[in-house]
């Protein structure tokens, strides 16, 4: 694998995770429990879709095959998407949505802190921009985990259930392969291993305040989305909705 | 009317203070600090802009408004380039811009971004743009556009937008 191929894959992985989580959150538009919460999720969705656009625009440039970021978002098939399985999980209830974002935000925040040091200028620039936004995402979702975990008996149960159910998708965030190895040698990508303990510590801190139990660290972890493009059954439904318009009306503009 | 080719880069930059933000029309793109640079090569003008937020839908509009304005002045080749680095910060909002925001009913960013107390839980004062009371509380970190948070004044009870620090 050449550096260029690795960089393309790497950029897709970041772009796809942001895109799919952004899409999932956008499904809340008009359905939030309160107007403020609706607006908050949609703002976060907008940030993520914007970040995804930056990554995919760059991926298209690296690939150099006359594709645009829209082609990559709307005209790739399921197996070509390299997002984390965590972010394609269904919205479920408010607790599931908050917990899914919280697990990812903690990672995203720590990851971007490393990615800003990337020797690839464009990757570093996207990371620098995103980090400012993700700082607010993490704050928002941590607050909600604490508020509901340490809330009523019912909200506590909902949050603990969400924490347990989504846990098996958290290990994948730290998976690495040849793509990472090649780019780590170039100083473009950070090593994800040292991020694991930092991630766990932050999750523990917030869960302690939220009176939630951290699921077992040695639990079995599901992976395959980010490295191989093997997704859960959810992914097809997401793409059929997200890609419907540009596929049905290829010339549509707005 | 003078020949546009006589415009200096500085004068073109000044001209861009006629282009306003589509979502907060009281601010110009230069008040916002979105215009980073103007370069002139012969007949070509290149304007470098930076987005406030990654997903800000106003950026495309700002880009076309800048083009349109300069073309109206007579420039034939206008390029608008978007750069992400250095990332936009509310520190680039000019003092004039801050004043205009408050008069418009949006509280300007309370502190420089080098002070992270707002995020780490420390106290910061956001003044009510209506009655100027400092007795206000945050309703939501996120508001009607990416750049704003929602606040409420505890004295006059008015809800208001706060242009948050990034
Ligand atoms: Zn007031």
pLDDT of residue A185: 98
Residue A193 lies in a domain: yes
Q: Which residue in B51, B137, B141 has the most chain A C-beta atoms within 10 A of its own C-beta, making it the best mutation to test that interface?
A: B141
Tell me how many domains chain A contains.
1
**Is there a single domain that holds both residue B30 and residue B74?**
yes
pLDDT of residue B5: 75
Please indicate whether, in this complex, the C-beta atoms of B150 and A36 are within 8 angstroms of each other. yes
**Is there a single domain that holds both residue B128 and residue B159?**
yes
Full-model pTM: 0.92
Chain A hits for B54, Cβ within 8 Å: 47, 50-51, 53-54, 129-130, 133
Q: In the listed set B17, B47, B82, which residue is the last one of a domain according to the structure?
A: B82
Please indicate whether, in this complex, the C-beta atoms of B55 and A54 are within 8 angstroms of each other. no
Give tens-digit pLDDT for A147-204.
Answer: 999 999 999 999 999 999 999 999 999 999 999 999 999 999 999 999 999 999 999 9
CATH (domain of A181):
1.20.1260.10
Residue A66 lies in a domain: yes
**Is there a single domain that holds both residue B69 and residue B113?**
no
**Is there a single domain that holds both residue B63 and residue B95?**
no
Please state the rounded mean pLDDT for residues A33-50.
Answer: 93
**Is there a single domain that holds both residue B66 and residue B95?**
no
pLDDT of residue B155: 95
Confidence of residue B112 (pLDDT cuts 50, 70, 90): low
Residue A105 lies in a domain: yes
Q: Which residue in A73, A132, A140, A253 has the most chain B C-beta atoms within 10 A of its own C-beta, making it the best mutation to test that interface?
A: A132
**Is there a single domain that holds both residue B70 and residue B33?**
yes
Q: Which residue in A43, A53, A120, A135 has the most chain B C-beta atoms within 10 A of its own C-beta, making it the best mutation to test that interface?
A: A43
- Residue A26: pLDDT above 50? yes
Report the alpha-carbon distance of residue B95 to residue B109 in Å, rounded.
11
Percent of chain A with pLDDT over 70: 100
Confidence of residue B119 (pLDDT cuts 50, 70, 90): low
**Is there a single domain that holds both residue B108 and residue B130?**
yes
- Residue A40: pLDDT above 90? yes
Query: What is the overall mean pLDDT for chain A?
Result: 96
Q: Which of A39-53, A215-229, B109-123 has the lowest average pLDDT?
A: B109-123
Please indicate whether, in this complex, the C-beta atoms of A40 and B142 are within 8 angstroms of each other. yes
The residue segments making up the domain with residue B36 are 4-82
Q: How far is the CA of B24 from the centre of ligand 1 (A)?
A: 21
- Residue B120: pLDDT above 60? no
Non-local (6+) Cβ contacts of B6 within 8 A are none
Percent of chain B with pLDDT over 90: 64
Q: In the listed set B22, B53, B82, which residue is the last one of a domain according to the structure?
A: B82
Residue A253 lies in a domain: no
Residue A48 lies in a domain: yes
Residue A254 lies in a domain: no
Give tens-digit pLDDT for A110-158.
Answer: 999 999 999 999 999 999 999 999 999 999 999 999 999 999 999 999 9
**Cβ–Cβ under 8 Å, residues A122 and A192:** no
Q: In the listed set B82, B109, B139, which residue is the last one of a domain according to the structure?
A: B82
Report the alpha-carbon distance of residue A83 to residue A17 in Å, rounded.
4
The residue segments making up the domain with residue A91 are 3-248
CATH (domain of B18):
3.30.300.130
Pick from B56, B83, B144: CB nearest A39? B144
Q: How far is the CA of A140 from the centre of ligand 1 (A)?
A: 25
**Is there a single domain that holds both residue B22 and residue B62?**
yes
Please indicate whether, in this complex, the C-beta atoms of A140 and B142 are within 8 angstroms of each other. yes
Please indicate whether, in this complex, the C-beta atoms of B54 and A124 are within 8 angstroms of each other. no
**Is there a single domain that holds both residue B72 and residue B136?**
no
What are all long-range contacts of A39-42, with beta carbons under 8 Å and residues at least 24 apart? A39/B140, A39/B142, A39/B143, A39/B144, A39/B150, A40/A140, A40/B140, A40/B141, A40/B142, A41/A97
- Closest Cα partner for A168 from A111, A109, A218? A218
Q: How far is the CA of B160 from the centre of ligand 1 (A)?
A: 9
ipTM value of the model? 0.84
Tell me how many domains chain B contains.
2
pLDDT of residue B118: 47
Confidence of residue B165 (pLDDT cuts 50, 70, 90): confident
Please state the rounded mean pLDDT for residues A236-247.
Answer: 96
**Is there a single domain that holds both residue B155 and residue B116?**
yes
**Is there a single domain that holds both residue B78 and residue B117?**
no
- Closest Cα partner for B15 from B42, B48, B38, B43? B38
């Amino acid at each position: 694998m050449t550096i260029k191929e690795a960089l393309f894959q790497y950029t897709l992985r970041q772009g796809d995770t942001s895109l799919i989580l952004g899409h999932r959150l956008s499904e809340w538009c008009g359905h939030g429990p309160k107007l403020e919460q609706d607006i908050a999720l949609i703002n976060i969705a907008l940030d993520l879709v914007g970040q995804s656009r930056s990554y995919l625009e760059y991926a298209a440039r690296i690939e150099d095959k006359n594709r645009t970021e829209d082609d990559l978002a709307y005209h790739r098939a399921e197996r070509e998407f390299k997002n984390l399985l965590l972010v394609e999980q269904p919205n479920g209830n408010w607790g599931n949505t908050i917990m899914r974002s919280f697990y990812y935000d903690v990672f995203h925040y720590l990851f971007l802190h490393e990615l800003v040091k990337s020797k690839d200028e464009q990757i570093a620039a996207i990371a620098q921009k995103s980090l400012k936004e993700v700082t607010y995402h993490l704050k928002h979702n941590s607050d909600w985990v604490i508020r509901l975990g340490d809330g009523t008996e019912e909200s506590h149960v909902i949050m603990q259930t969400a924490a347990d159910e989504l846990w098996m998708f958290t290990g994948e965030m730290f998976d690495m392969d040849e793509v990472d190895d090649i780019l780590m040698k170039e100083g473009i990508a950070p090593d994800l291993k040292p991020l694991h303990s930092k991630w766990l510590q932050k999750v523990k801190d917030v869960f302690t305040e939220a009176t939630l139990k951290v699921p077992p660290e040695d639990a079995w972890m599901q992976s395959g989305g980010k490295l191989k493009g093997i997704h859960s059954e959810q992914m097809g439904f997401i793409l059929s909705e997200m890609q419907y318009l540009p596929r049905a009306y290829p010339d549509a503009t707005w | 009317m003078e020949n546009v080719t006589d415009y200096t880069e500085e004068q073109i930059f000044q001209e861009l203070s006629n282009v306003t933000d589509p979502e907060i029309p009281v601010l110009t793109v230069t008040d916002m600090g979105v215009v980073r640079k103007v370069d002139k090569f012969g007949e070509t003008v290149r304007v470098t802009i930076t987005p406030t937020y990654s997903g800000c839908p106003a950026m495309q509009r700002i880009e076309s408004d800048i083009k349109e304005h300069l073309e109206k002045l007579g420039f034939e080749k206008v390029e608008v380039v978007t750069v992400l680095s250095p990332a936009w910060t509310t520190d680039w909002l000019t003092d004039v811009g801050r004043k205009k925001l408050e008069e418009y009913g949006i509280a300007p960013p309370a502190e420089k971004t080098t002070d992270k107390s707002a995020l780490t839980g420390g106290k910061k004062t956001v003044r009510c743009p209506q009655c100027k009371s400092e007795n206000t509380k945050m309703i939501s970190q996120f508001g009607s556009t990416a750049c704003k948070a929602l606040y409420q004044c505890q004295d006059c009870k008015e809800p208001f937008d706060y242009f948050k620090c990034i």
